[in-house]
């Protein structure tokens, strides 16, 4: 009779649990690098066989921390690991400017290299309107792509951006509620002659682009005239999905290209509201 080469599953689980305890509690062992050893051992165990994988993952993925800027919300963890997560921490940090320190952003020392290095794109996330004006003045005319992440961006700022950058080919407004100032008509100046079709990308986080801001069909049509292409990220706006779609479709002819991204959880929320209303 051949020797039994497989350990009983109960023993395998017990061995892995020992490693898991050491992984969670580094003081349990005498050595300071005990936790690192246990972590490596658990990783190795997870690759031994299917019988070892589940238990090892349960210890490795018990606590998961995801950190980064708001884009990390689009991170999709592997579904196979989700059942093992018991504690999940999501840490969102706003990055002011991805190229240079925010405190020195507008000094000549930092703005000059933009043209020198041939940098053609920038990402900004700031709530300060005053800084935006300085920023627009400081940006190089060679800048072709501007991405703003701000919840307080006004239409006047957009107009200034377009005026200051005749060569602008891509303007991305992320997580913005577009707010026209008092008596400020929604008028965008024409862009300069561009070899490519300029693109306007709008990431509207909490409200539909025009909800409550008196942005009309004509305004949307004008957006189409100015930019040609519109990428519209629509994340959440209860009860207004149909209105948004109708408005976009009514102006479809204004755009050479129109892409609407609808975050999947939106419909779920609306359904949830309907359900709770009936209750």
Partner 1 sequence: MFVQLEDKPLFSLGGCFNLSELTLDMKYTSSCIVTTSISILSTLDPIQGGRLEWVRLTTSCVYRWLCKKSRTELAQLWGNLDAILSELAKVAMSVEGKRLTFVLVSTEIHEKCIVFGRKRLPELLPRFHELGLLRVDQARGSLKIASCCGGSCSHVPICMEDHNDPSPG
Interface residue list for partner 1 (CB under 8 A): 66, 70, 72-76, 79, 82-94, 125, 127, 149-151, 175, 205-206, 233, 235-236, 238, 248-249, 252-253, 255-265, 268-269, 272-273, 276
d(CA 206, CA 42): 42
Smallest separation (angstroms) from partner 1 to the CB of 165:
23
Nearer to partner 1, 98 or 268 (CB): 268
Q: What is the DSSP string of 99-159?
A: SS-GGGTTSHHHHHHHHHTT--EEEE----HHHHHHHHHHS-TT--EEEEE-SS-BHHHHH
- The two structure tokens encoding residue 158: 């957009």
Nearer to partner 1, 33 or 196 (CB): 196
Nearest Cα to Cα of residue 71 among 109, 121, 123: 123
Nearer to partner 1, 114 or 153 (CB): 153
d(CA 58, CA 60): 6
Nearest Cα to Cα of residue 267 among 248, 247, 244: 244
Nearer to partner 1, 219 or 233 (CB): 233
Smallest separation (angstroms) from partner 1 to the CB of 128:
11
User: Please, what is the angle between helix 9-24 and helix 34-46, to 10°?
Assistant: 140
The enclosing H or E element of 204 equals strand 199-204
d(CA 211, CA 238): 11
Smallest separation (angstroms) from partner 1 to the CB of 170:
18
Smallest separation (angstroms) from partner 1 to the CB of 268:
5
Nearer to partner 1, 144 or 150 (CB): 150
Smallest separation (angstroms) from partner 1 to the CB of 25:
15
């Amino acid at each position: 009779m051949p020797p039994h080469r497989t350990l009983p599953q109960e023993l395998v689980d017990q061995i892995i649990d020992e490693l898991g305890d050491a992984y969670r509690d580094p003081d349990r062992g005498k050595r300071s690098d005990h936790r690192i050893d246990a972590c490596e051992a658990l990783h190795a165990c997870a690759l031994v066989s299917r019988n070892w994988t589940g238990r090892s993952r349960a210890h490795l993925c018990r606590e998961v921390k995801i950190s980064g800027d708001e884009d990390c919300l689009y991170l999709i963890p592997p579904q196979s690991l989700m059942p093992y997560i018991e504690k999940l921490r999501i840490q969102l940090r706003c990055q002011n400017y991805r190229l240079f320190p925010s405190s020195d952003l507008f000094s000549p020392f930092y703005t000059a290299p933009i043209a020198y290095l041939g940098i053609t794109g920038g990402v900004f996330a700031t709530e300060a309107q005053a800084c935006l004006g300085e920023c627009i003045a400081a940006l190089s005319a060679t800048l072709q792509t501007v991405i703003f992440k701000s919840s307080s961006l006004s239409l006047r700022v957009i107009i200034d951006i377009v005026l200051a950058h005749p060569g602008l080919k891509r303007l991305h407004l992320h997580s913005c509620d577009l707010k026209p100032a008092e008596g400020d008509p929604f008028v965008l100046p024409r862009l300069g002659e561009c070899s490519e079709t300029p693109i306007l990308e709008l990431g509207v986080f909490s409200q539909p682009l025009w909800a409550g801001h008196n942005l009309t069909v004509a305004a949307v049509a004008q957006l189409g005239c100015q930019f040609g292409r519109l990428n519209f990220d629509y994340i959440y706006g209860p009860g207004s999905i149909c209105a948004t779609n109708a408005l976009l479709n009514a102006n479809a002819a204004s755009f050479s290209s129109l892409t609407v991204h609808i975050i999947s959880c939106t419909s779920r929320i609306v359904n949830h509201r309907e359900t709770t209303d009936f209750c």
